[in-house]
Amino acid sequence: MSSAVSSPPSGDFDYNANRGTHTAGYGTIRRADPRIQSQIHSALGTARTVLNIGAGAGSYEPTDRHVVAIEPAAAMRARRPAHAVPAIIASAESLPFDDLSFDAAMGTLTVHQWRDRATGLRELCRVTRHTIVLLTFDPEHVHDFWLNDYIPELTDADQIRMPRISALAEAFASHGFTTTSQPVILHADCIDGFTEAYFARPEMFLDDAVRQAQSAWGFVPPGAEERAISALRADLANGAWERKYGHHRTMPTYQSSLRVVVAQRT
Ligand SMILES: C[S@@+](CC[C@H](N)C(=O)[O-])C[C@H]1O[C@@H](n2cnc3c(N)ncnc32)[C@H](O)[C@@H]1O
């Protein structure tokens, strides 16, 4: 294994740990959902050159524009498919590019993990000519999801990890960008397996591989995950989940805490 695999993580979650087992679901469980993808791509507007930060295995990366990807975790880079552009080994906090190098920059489900968010956002603004697009969870709404009733430790951790949308807007404003935020409407068959994607499919949480592909479970205290999953398993077996949350099964869409945050240079 390369030395990069054993280097310290650039974010708050170590994707290289346990020989990269947490990245095993990228490409299978954590795949780009086409509806979220088209929302992101339309937010990128007419940008021809795009920097993808924390690019992971390449989800949501456009294929019809000139893309440069950066990804600090070796285990993630190893999951990039052959058709994706190779990822440069770098972190948001120190981008190896000149000022105003890209029409647009994007980062999907990554900003909450950065070690030094203020520096990363400053770097993002420095290298971007026009538009920055982030896909991120609004911490003010992470508790709305029914999973919170089974494992509040997980949504509590998410609430702390995720930047407030207003904090992102303030940071962007200090670098000359104006921010808007769009809600993301999830469909019941959402392909990208983050937690809220399974709002209508509670059985999915019983699958170890699904939870392993969701970094939030790595932030709950020992024993909490086992307690929550056995409670959910019991409620699914005895009908308690159906009685309380069963209406989710027939909801075609769900207004999640996910947001597309768009910052435009003014
Ligand atoms: C949840 S994954 C998302 C990957 C991909 N963008 C996606 O949507 O599937 C978060 C990614 O952010 C990366 N990351 C963590 N800290 C970072 C930092 N400081 N700079 C850039 N990327 C970082 C991780 O290595 C990981 O690949």
Q: How far is the CA of 254 from the centre of ligand 1 (A)?
A: 25
Between CA 6 and CA 37 the distance in angstroms is 32
For residue 16, name the pLDDT band (cuts at 50, 70, 90): confident
Burial, 2: exposed, middle or buried (Cβ in 10 Å; 0-12, 13-18, 19+)?
A: exposed
> What are the phi and psi torsion angles at 87 (to 5°)?
-100, 140
pTM of the model: 0.92
d(CA 204, CA 102): 39
What is the reported pLDDT for 71?
A: 98
**Contacts of range 47-51, beta carbons closer than 8 Å, 24 or more positions apart:** 47/102, 47/103, 47/104, 47/130, 47/131, 48/103, 49/101, 49/102, 49/103, 49/104, 50/102, 50/103, 50/104, 50/105, 50/106, 51/95, 51/97, 51/101, 51/102, 51/104, 51/105, 51/106, 51/127, 51/128
| Domain locations in the chain as residue ranges | 3-265
For residue 42, name the pLDDT band (cuts at 50, 70, 90): very high
Ligand 1 centroid–CA 49 distance in Å is 20
Give, for ligand 1, the residue of 67, 70, 113 to mutate: max count of ligand atoms closer than 8 Å to Cβ.
113
Q: In angstroms, what is the span from residue 239 Cα to ligand 1's centroid?
A: 38
The band of 210, judged by pLDDT with boundaries at 50, 70 and 90, is very high
For residue 6, pLDDT beyond 80 = no
Decide: helix, strand or coil at residue 102: strand
Indicate the CATH number of 3-265 among 3.30.930.10, 3.30.450.20, 3.40.50.150, 3.60.10.10: 3.40.50.150
CA 142 centroid distance within chain: 13
Burial (CB < 10 A; 0-12, 13-18, 19+), residue 265, is middle
User: Which pLDDT does position 26 carry in this prediction?
Assistant: 67
pLDDT at residue 170, as a whole number? 98
Residue 4 has a pLDDT of 44
Atom of ligand 1 nearest to the CA of 73: 25
Predicted confidence (pLDDT) at residue 24 exceeds the cutoff of 70: no
Q: Which of the four pLDDT bands, split at 50, 70 and 90, describes residue 2?
A: very low
Summarize the confidence of residues 158-178 as an average pLDDT.
97
Distance, in Å, from the CA atom of 106 to the CA atom of 96, rounded to the nearest integer, reads 16
**First-to-last C-alpha distance (Å) of the chain:** 45
Distance, in Å, from the CA atom of 150 to the CA atom of 160, rounded to the nearest integer, reads 18
- Which of 22, 37, 88, 110 has most ligand 1 atoms within 8 Å of its beta carbon, as the pocket-test mutant? 110
Token pair in block for residue 179: 């921010």
Q: What pLDDT score was predicted for residue 3?
A: 39
CA distance 75 to 241: 36
Contact residues of ligand 1, CB 6 A cut-off: 10-11, 15, 30, 53-56, 59-60, 71-73, 76, 91-93, 108-110, 113-115, 120, 215
CB 154 within 8 A of CB 147: yes
Write the DSSP string, 116-145: SHHHHHHHHHHHEEEEEEEEEE-TTTGGGS
- Whether residue 93 has pLDDT greater than 70: yes
pLDDT in tens, 103-121: 999 999 999 999 999 999 9
